[in-house]
């Protein structure tokens, strides 16, 4: 019968995530950032699989060959996870610079829906430039209401369709 107690490696992963979230500041602010981060992570299907595979890989490390498919998959997704972490940290820094004016917006269901769409697009993009566009868009959508959420969704759709080769040689 499987135990409900997390393995030591799973516990370490959970503690690392808790530590990162604890750095976000006061408890109200932390809850707001947690909602944002959970919406972002929840929209990217491979994140949960990566954490699970990383935990099982540690447990079976001695029996897995260095050049196995699982190792390659973990390495590829580890790099993606590092990029995701850097993007989320940058978004949080920008939220901090916007101050308390974004708090109500960050916790609204409408905005969190945009966050999910944005991070699905972020995950599927093939360039760092498009990832920056997506992150900038989601931060700007929190900080200003110049455009409706429908216009933001249209722009997200455009970013997904846009390909760097279409802009020509600059």
Enclosing domain of residue 136: 8-167
Give a yes or no: residue 1 inside a domain. Answer: no
Give kind and range of the element (H or E) at residue 29.
helix 27-42
Report the number of distinct structural domains present in the chain.
Answer: 1
pTM of the model: 0.63
State the residue for tokens 């900080």: 143
| Within a domain: 3 | no
Q: What is the pLDDT of residues 36-94, one digit of tens each?
A: 877 887 777 777 666 666 666 665 555 555 456 666 667 777 888 889 899 999 999 99
């Amino acid at each position: 019968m499987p135990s409900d107690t997390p393995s030591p490696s799973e516990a370490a992963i959970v503690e690392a995530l808790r530590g990162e979230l604890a750095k976000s500041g006061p408890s109200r602010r932390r809850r707001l950032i947690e909602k944002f981060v959970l919406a972002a992570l929840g929209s990217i299907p491979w994140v949960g699989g990566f954490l699970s595979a990383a935990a099982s890989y540690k447990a079976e490390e001695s029996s897995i060959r260095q050049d196995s498919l699982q190792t390659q998959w973990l390495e590829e997704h580890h790099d993606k996870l590092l990029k995701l972490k850097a993007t989320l940290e940058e978004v949080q820094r920008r939220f901090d610079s916007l101050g308390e004016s974004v708090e109500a917006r960050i916790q609204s269901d409408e905005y969190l829906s945009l966050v999910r769409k944005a991070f699905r697009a972020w995950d599927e993009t093939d360039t760092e430039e498009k990832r920056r566009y997506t992150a900038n868009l989601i931060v700007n959508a929190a900080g200003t209401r110049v455009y409706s959420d429908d216009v933001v969704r249209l722009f997200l759709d455009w970013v997904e369709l846009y390909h760097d080769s279409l802009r020509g040689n600059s």
